[in-house]
Amino acid sequence: MSALWTSLDAQAATGGQLRGASWSANGVSIDTRTLQAGDLFVALSDVRDGHDFVVDALTKGAAAALVSRVPTGVSSDAPLLIVDDVLAALSDLGKAGRARTEAKVIAITGSAGKTSTKEMLRHVLTGQGRTHAAEASYNNHWGVPLTLARMPADTEFAIIEIGMSHPGEIAPLSLLARPHIAIVTTVAPAHLESFDDIEGIAREKSAIFQGLEPGGVAIFNADLPASKLLRTAALAHAKTLWGFGVSDKAEIVADQIILDEATSIVRGHIKSVPKAQPFLFKIGAPGRHFAMNALAAMIAARSAGADWDIAACDIAGWQPPKGRGTRETLPLDPVEDLTIELIDDAFNANPASMAAAFEVLVAIPPRDGVGRIGKGRRIAILGDMLELGPEEAAHHAALADHPVMQFIHRVDCVGSRMKALFEALPQEKRGRWTATAEDMVSHAHHLVDAGDVVLVKGSKGSKVSLVVDALRKLGNARGKTRQKDAV
């Protein structure tokens, strides 16, 4: 296998100064905890200064380190690539990585669904060519160049996730990625602290089209209030436009979406001349939002040259990434067949993704007659939605009015912002409210009963993933109690 980067290639890309012996790197790392022998260690400065970890990286077998100064304790013959600015050099490395490949590049942004759509594309494209995508949500000012710098030169399909927190972030990253295909999954209230209104968010999301290569393809949600703005922006930069959705304004249309407890079935058509092309495919997870993301993924795969029929077969085996709607059966008792169904969606949240998660929850039937209570319930344990701006209380309270809320038996709320929802709920649906996730964890054994279906969702900063961990431990804790009693 040829090296990902040689010392001379990296020097040419960054304009840096080489020190020590020549080297070849098989990977690029920014974290010594996950660094593999043979990686180029990039000493980024964020919460911690990466230069403080260069010695550790070299000790663990790093091929070299990309630095802006010689760190203390580094030997005089250590392999270093010294640059003026490490982050800028990483961007240069990403730019060079993008320039040397002939891959079809797909870039994705949106207020929700970026990572799920990225993973759908990875799933369906891997069987049709050498596919490269970040293993995590590396979608910011260092994540995008890192993903590009890690891309092998012989890649055939590349999927780049692009996110934002403030205005002006998406266009530079899209121009760096130079996609052939660009996707906007949706536009929804998220990061409103940094924008005047949702139209401002839509304009920022539409900036992904600015990086399109000549003859590029723009794919966007056609069912939104902001869809006209997205279409106008796409027309300015793309040769081909694909609106997806359920409305007659879409070019790839879902005529029917059928949800059951394990899958989503999408039946629709692609508008074409002389006649429409019908399609039918199944996704290995329930959720209207997953079905919509799959429309974008499928038309992107076809636009990249993949075979539609093969992709339609493969997408049936796709599962959501951990923390983004993953479903699992958890034992509450290791001896008796007492379980709950858990939907782990604790990685991110905004009003749109909350609504989508509620629909998944109500699609899964609870089991009656197996628990202490006797009747299985649908339970939502919800953490704060962050960065929603001055109207955050109203956005939280409005969740109580979602049409499917009538099918959710109880809602437990975590955080100061979620208290607005708790107070807006009818009394019979109120479970517990706690100020922190740690407080809710202390009540974990009272929250659920066998036969329940439980959704845990919130922004990452709400730390409701701690509740997920606590629920996973319930069966183990009860097993240990039984063993102790037996002794």
Q: 121: closest CA among 269, 288, 305?
A: 305
Q: State percent of the chain over pLDDT 70.
A: 96
From residue 467, alpha-carbon distances to 42, 184, 437 in Å are 34, 31, 7
The overall average pLDDT reported for the chain is 93
Q: Once rounded to an integer, what is the mean pLDDT over residues 404-415?
A: 97
- Is the Cβ–Cβ distance between 384 and 458 less than 8 Å? yes
- Is the Cβ–Cβ distance between 270 and 279 less than 8 Å? yes
The pLDDT of residue 192 = 67
Name the band, by pLDDT with cuts 50, 70 and 90, for residue 474. Answer: confident
The pLDDT of residue 325 = 87
- Is the Cβ–Cβ distance between 14 and 81 less than 8 Å? yes
Q: 161: closest CA among 192, 127, 122?
A: 122
- Is the Cβ–Cβ distance between 253 and 268 less than 8 Å? yes
Q: What letters, b where the CB count within 10 A reaches 16 and e where it falls short, cover 403-433?
A: eebeebbbbbbbbebbbbbbebbeeebbbbb
The pLDDT of residue 336 = 72
The pLDDT of residue 191 = 65
Summarised one tens digit per residue, pLDDT across range 64-115 is 999 999 999 999 999 999 999 999 999 999 999 999 999 999 999 999 889 9
- Residue 481 scores a pLDDT above 50: no
Q: 125: closest CA among 251, 316, 286, 304?
A: 304
List the structure tokens of 146.
């890192």
How far is Cα 276 from Cα 220, in angstroms, rounded to an integer? Answer: 19
Segments in 350-443 forming alpha helices (H): 351-363, 392-398, 419-424, 437-441
- Is the Cβ–Cβ distance between 152 and 127 less than 8 Å? no
The amino acid at 256: Q
Summarised one tens digit per residue, pLDDT across range 157-215 is 999 999 998 899 999 999 999 999 999 999 987 766 778 788 999 999 999 999 999 99
The pLDDT of residue 482 = 39
Summarised one tens digit per residue, pLDDT across range 252-309 is 999 999 988 889 999 999 998 678 899 999 999 888 999 999 999 999 999 999 999 9
How far is Cα 279 from Cα 266, in angstroms, rounded to an integer? Answer: 8
The pLDDT of residue 278 = 95
List the structure tokens of 24.
């070849």
